[in-house]
Amino acid sequence: MRRVAVLGTGHSNYMFRSEKPSTELMSETAMEAIIDSGLMPGDIQAFLMGNAWGAFEEGQSTLQSYVANEIGCYNIPATRLEGACSSGTMAVREGFIWVASGFYDIVLVGGVERATALPTPLATRVFVTCADSLYEWPTGFVYPASFGMLAHLYCRTYNIPLSKLEGIMACVSVQSHEYALLNPKAQIHKKLTKEDVLNSPMVATPLRLHNCCPFTDGSAAIVLASEEFAKKLDKRPVYIAGVGQASSGRISSQSAYYPRIRSREVSSRQAYRMAGITPEDIDLCELHDCFSIASLIAAEGLGFFEYGTAGDAWEKGNTRIGGKIPINISGGLKAKGHPVGATGVGQVVEVTQQLRGELMEQGRQVEGARYGMTDTMGADGVVTNIILTTEK
């Protein structure tokens, strides 16, 4: 199996209510990645794109084919992947497999979403199509309720008072907003205090408004290439060292394992094993923080902290730059934004730029980083993990 490099990156601003349609958003970002890689559209052999709800948002399916044509990648295979919030990362993993196998030398991977094209009630209904539609969501298992339930289970499982967990979750949100203020691509540029979070409206106990990520419009793209090809063009290659993907059944089928997410543990171990490293080797991570409680569950499931202790890490600053494991230095889903189909690709762009040392001027560079990891969870447990490195 060949080594695969990230050759170029592209990333739109994450925003509310984009005036551009998804085809235009994706086309601009794709061209940014192609130009950054030093290639031309005619060099791209295949296009993989994450998009969850284009048919709902704009009444438009098969976005990938129109994007490929718009950017001059005529008649290449263009494929859309859907795994709810994990759609984009699934596309990255598939692109990696195609190049690593030797079938293609150069693949364009992108993701796009215009989630704010939907009014909130409809968006909530559309999002929950990725949950069990026969038995669970009709009884109220929309995602805020599900993660609220996980928060209560987290307290009970690890003997943490609910009031203490609420304070911890507030720290998670405060950190994310602080780093998003430094990220020009982030959707929300607003400083939060712990009191702001604790006094914000209740959404689904104990989750308040500022414990929840926003709906987002945006796109991101990368160009993947074989190591041999990449070395001809790029003096600073970032390689994909490991990938993992796992899935789960409906929420009720996971009850014996909650609040841990078994599919995350399976997927991340696949990625660690492929990369030949352990969680202690990871220098930074962009993880799936759709709700503040999700940050704690993910950080523990990825092996960064013992179960039930991740909150202490956030409170002590161990998840900040200079801490044990910098987490969501982009601002995360909470403040950078969550354009569902693009989220995972945007995470890979962020880690690639960190490993290249390109974020010094923004004041959020994790200096000396060698290994970075992304973590994306869609629906009830479609988890995809990517490990990237500068190591030869």
How large is the greatest C-alpha to C-alpha distance in the chain, in angstroms?
58
46-50 vs 78-81, strand pairing mode: parallel
Whole-number Å distance between alpha carbons of 209 and 226: 44
HSE (side-chain half, CA atoms, 13 Å) at 251: 22
Q: What six digits make up the tokens of 364?
A: 């959020």
Catalytic residue (choose from 85, 130, 285, 290):
85
| C-alpha pair distances (Å), 78 with each of 6, 39, 54, 184 | 19, 18, 15, 30
| Active-site residue, 85 included | yes
With beta carbons less than 8 A apart as the criterion, state whether 226 and 347 touch.
no
With beta carbons less than 8 A apart as the criterion, state whether 54 and 60 touch.
yes
Catalytic residue (choose from 177, 210, 288, 338):
338
Q: Is the peptide bond before 326 cis (omega within 30 degrees of 0)?
A: no
Name the burial class of residue 235, with classes exposed (0-12), middle (13-18) and buried (19+) by CB atoms within 10 angstroms of its CB. Answer: exposed
| Active-site residue, 213 included | no
Whole-number Å distance between alpha carbons of 191 and 209: 15
Tokens 């086309």 correspond to 27
- Classify the C-alpha dihedral 346-185-181-118 as positive or negative: negative
Residue 13 is given by DSSP the state P
Question: Which positions are annotated as active-site residues?
Answer: 85, 338
